[in-house]
Structure 1
Amino acid sequence: MPRFALKIDYDGGPFQGWQRQAAHQPSVQATVEAALGRLQPGPHTIAAAGRTDAGVHGTGQVATVDLVRDWEPYRLSEALNWHLKPAPVAVIAAARVADDFHARFSATERRYLFRLVARRAPVTHDRGRVWQVLNPLDTGAMRAGAAHLLGHHDFTTFRSSLCQANSPMKTLDEVSITEHAYPGGVEYRFVLRARSFLHNQVRSIVGTLERVGTGGWAPDAVKAALEARDRAACGPVCPPQGLYLTGVGYAVDPFAGT
């Protein structure tokens, strides 16, 4: 059966996460599988590079699916987008891939963006798409705190108690923090990059760095929390709506040229 990779963009607000849910709760996976069912009868199961939580968005999620028909990739994406309406989910690229390509297991890198806005007035256009705080943060202090997290570490402190990963050891390749103009305030963008992440790792890190930005934690307190290897040492876990899965890396980009 021909195998296809799909690059998927979605607003996570209406969904209980990527993964198909019990009791017919809405999920991104089930929504895409239902659209596939309208193209090819029968049940479909797609594999994704990352299982984003409820409320988390995707701008570069990747999934693989096997189909009977050898679709022209552009026509496949167009047909799926027709059947995905009116859900806030879109296939922005499709590609024919080798039979041994797997969205999750072939991935060499995952990239996340977290958007945090500081302003007094409530956000309007970005409601449900950013985490809002009221006061500006100290970007330099947050960068100093984030530096302690780079490299290969035991991230037990920044791991959900429900995490099913076999090991808390992960290598964090990038944590960059930039400031951007925002009407009436300022937006802070956190970019995190690693081969893979633990459950709630990104939100735990950003929530902890926000405490540093307020002055509530010293930058060196991040190092102490990491070395504690204790979930209780973590700062607050920030809300999901500011988090985006923005990209997945592979040894060979399946979407190159699409």
Structure 2
Amino acid sequence: MRIALGVSYSGSAYEGWQSQLSGNTVQDKLELALAKFAAQPIRTLCCGRTDAGVHALMQVVHFDTPLQRDIASWVRGANTFLPRDIAVQWAREVPDEFHCRGSAVARRYAYVVLESPVRPSVEAGRVGWVYRPLDGAAMRQAITHLIGEHDFSSFRAAQCQAKSPVKTISRIDISERAGTGSKYWRFEFEANAFLHHMIRNIMGCLVAIGQGSYPPGWLAEVRDARSRDAAAPTFSPDGLYFLGPVYEDHYGLPVRTAAYDWLP
């Protein structure tokens, strides 16, 4: 049977999702836990590979297995052997034609920024940080230049392996929550797919605009330049969260998990 899992993790301690010789990746830890539970090797595929330091609230993976187990036992069994900062949130049996990456019609990310004169402590590794105030109106005006289908080469990492830089962003939302002498900003992105470092490079530009270094229209100039040299430096991975893929309803897969509920 083919099993899909929804997995959440804090990426701070790991070298990204994809398996490495060091064994210190989320995929390595998940496959080790599944192998211990199943008493045989299990190889997984994921919907979206995350970089070192990037978190996930609902990474979706799938694998094939001949084992006949109660579906809920895949959650309890894997979590028994996983480190405390990785947890399987749900498990579902899916049809053979389901592919965690190929069946996704969209992907969602959030980036959380702490605006504060003092660097983060409790949130260290879990939020990006700026000490200069951000202008929400300017950033909201700027994001209009990214909605729709565009060539996002200016926001693409040199090592990106995507076949095309043309992607379609359907939604970018910016919200804010005031604290005591500080403010949390949440930037939420949804697109059919993303390039390597695309969101972090967009965030670098939005922060520059929010702090007044450039006007909102500069983002259109960066987009049209189709050159990484035109954009701002890549922003920190700390506040980036993979919210998960979007699938067609007939698969019956969850769209949220309990891991979502703490995020500002």
Q: 2:200 touches 2:237 (CA, 8 Å); kept in 1?
A: yes
Give the Å deviation of 1:232: 0.3
1:124 aligns with 2:108: no
Q: Distance in 1 between matches of 2:218 and 2:201?
A: 14
Per the alignment, residue 225 of structure 1 pairs with 222
Query: In the TM superposition, what whole-angstrom CA distance separates every residue of 1:24-82 from its partner, at most 9, and x where no partner exists?
Result: 24100010000111122333210000000000000011000112212222121011111
Secondary structure of 1:107's aligned partner: coil
- Judging changes above 3 Å, is the alpha-carbon distance between structure 1 residues 254 and 70 closer, same or farther for their aligned structure 2 residues? farther
1:16 maps to: 15
Counterpart residue identity of residue 58, structure 1: A
Q: Conserved in 2, the CA contact under 8 Å of 1:121 and 1:184?
A: no
- Match of residue 5 from structure 2: 6
Measured against aligned partners, the alpha-carbon deviations of 1:180-224 in whole angstroms (never above 9, x if no partner) come to 123430011100001110000010111100000000011000000
In structure 2, how many angstroms separate the alpha carbons of the residues matched to 1:181 and 1:31? 37
User: Which amino acid letter does the alignment assign opposite residue 76 of structure 1?
Assistant: W
Alignment counterpart, residue 145 of structure 1, candidates 142, 157, 166: 142
Matches within 5 A, 1:1-258: 2-22=1-21, 24-84=22-82, 86-252=83-249, 253-256=251-254
**How far apart are 1:150 and its partner, in Å?**
0.5
Q: Is contact 2:115-2:131 (8 Å) kept? A: yes
Structure 2: runs of 5+ lacking an equivalent: 258-264
Instruction: Name the SS of the counterpart of 1:219 in structure 2.
Output: coil
SS in structure 2 of the partner of residue 132 of structure 1 = strand
Alpha-carbon distance in structure 1 between the residues aligned to 2:252 and 2:24 = 28
**What amino acid sits opposite 2:115 in the alignment?**
A
* Aligned AA (2:163): N
RMSD: 1.4
The two structures have a TM-score, normalised by structure 1, of 0.95
Q: In the alignment, residue 79 of structure 2 is paired with which amino acid?
A: N
TM score, norm. by length of structure 2: 0.93
Secondary structure of the residue that 2:12 maps to in structure 1?
Answer: coil
Q: Is the 8 A contact 2:23 2:29 kept in 1?
A: no
Residue pair 1:77, 1:91 contacting (<8 A) in 2 also: yes
- Counting aligned pairs with the same residue, the percent is 38
Aligned residues: 255
CA distance in 1, matches of 2:3, 2:252: 9
Contact 1:21 1:27 in 2 (8 A): yes
Where structure 1 has 5 or more consecutive residues not aligned to the other structure, the ranges are none
Cα distance between partner residues in 2 of 1:109 and 1:156: 19
C-alpha distance in 2, partners of 1:196/1:110? Answer: 6
SS in 2 for 1:241: coil
